[in-house]
Amino acid sequence: MNDLRKTLEISTSPHIASGRSVEDIMRNVVWALLPATAFAIYAFGIGALLTLSVATLTCVATEHLLCRGGGRRSTVGDWSAVVTGLLYGLTLPPGLPLWMVVGGGVVALALGKYLFGGLGYNAFNPALVGRAFLQAAFPAAMTTWTPALAPERFQVLPSSTLTLPFMTPDYSLTAADGVTGATPLALMKFDQQPTGTYDLAFGFTGGSMGETCGVLILLGGIWLVARKMMNWRIPAAIFGTVIILSALFNGLDPARYPGPWFTLFSGGLMLGAVFMATDMVASPMTSLGVVIYGIVIGALIIVIRFWGGMPEGVMYAILLGNALSPHIDALTQPRVFGYKSGLKSERYHEDYRQ
């Protein structure tokens, strides 16, 4: 006689799995970043290709070595290190010396991710941790730019790229013709010289590699939102805050404060709002919390850009938002079902038992 007894398995929610793994999500983030990455290589040439490749390989190798050195299984197969490497590379100037690129990549993975316990435990976006280290350690190198769409960008490597460690870089584009260019944000902040919205939106300007072609970055974000792999409320709150505040101050003093479209498409705002502020680990979890988080980041960007000593503030705004994220979550937790307002939990349970 067949045994008709069956085992009833009881587990906590959720009971219905979506089928999306960490690997699947991270792989889709890489696909979403590829158009902007390809345009950065087109705009800055072989220097950008080499910098992005070294940044990505450094992050992947650092994660693998740290995992194996700590007696753990290597986690490079989940693609998170590739995402960090691409994002980190896109925050860098295309002519940055490669030894600096390697150093920042090691810091991004070792301090920004592994030190906190690995994927799922990082308090800050690892790519921005790496960039913040370089910004503090090598401010001159991180604020020296090569122009976009230079004629010889696919034939000649920027001479600063292969500078030996701790040597003074030569930031000339070629040996015969040295050219560096200020970013649109610097031109606007210090010289009140605006840049056309078309050039900003489609990437025909200098700056970090991720400051090019905001339209492609936005399309990548839409792809992830459509696949439900990104919380759209975060970039929407950042964009909305930036638009409202920049429109307000531009209306008060147009000569001093740029308008909303310039503010949106200049600098690293698009890349930061779409791909970095939305870090699933370092951002809040509640629906109200992510809106507050986005508003805080957007307001900080405006404050730093308009009144700070530096023309750009996206990196600092997101890192400060990451630091506030646990507190925002604590303040915006929904009320537990069955909780009676005005009574302490101990008293409530005591009344319930009676």
Per-residue pLDDT tens for 5-20?
666 666 665 555 556 7
Q: Which among 131, 132, 141 is positioned nearest to 166, based on CA atoms?
A: 141
Residue 222 lies in a domain: no
My answer on whether omega of the bond before 14 falls inside 30° of 0, hence cis, is: yes
Q: Please check whether residue 338 lies inside any domain of the structure.
A: no
DSSP assignments along 212-271, one per residue = S-HHHHHHHHHHHHHTT-S-THHHHHHHHHHHHHHHHHHHH-TTTS--HHHHHHSTTHHH
Distance CA 307, CA 163 (A): 35
**C-alpha–C-alpha distance, residues 204 and 40, integer Å:** 10
Query: What pLDDT is recorded for position 353?
Result: 43
Say yes or no to pLDDT of 72 above 90: no
Terminal-residue alpha carbon distance, the chain: 50
346: confidence class by pLDDT, cuts 50, 70, 90 = very low
Report the C-alpha gap between 79 and 30 in whole angstroms: 8
Residue 273: CB atoms within 10 Å: 29
Burial of residue 211 (number of CB atoms within 10 Å: 0-12, 13-18, 19+): buried
Distance CA 266, CA 204 (A): 11
Backbone φ and ψ for 119, nearest 5 degrees, come out as -60, 130
- Domain membership flag for residue 343: no
In this structure, is residue 100 part of a structural domain?
A: yes
Contact yes or no for 91/271 (Cβ under 8 A): yes
Question: Has residue 53 been placed in a domain?
Answer: yes
CA distance 94 to 99: 13
Domain span including residue 131:
21-144+146-180
Strands (E), the chain: none
- Is residue 52 in some structural domain? yes
Decide: pTM greater than 0.75.
yes
CB 107 within 8 A of CB 129: yes
Residue 75 lies in a domain: yes
User: Which pLDDT tens digit goes with each residue over 177-236?
Assistant: 334 557 888 888 777 787 888 888 888 887 889 887 889 999 999 999 999 999 999 999
Q: Which of 99-103, 285-289, 336-340 has the lowest mean pLDDT?
A: 336-340
Query: Given this model, what pLDDT does residue 175 score?
Result: 38
211 found inside a domain: no
CB atoms within 10 A of CB 152: 13
Number of structural domains found in the chain: 1
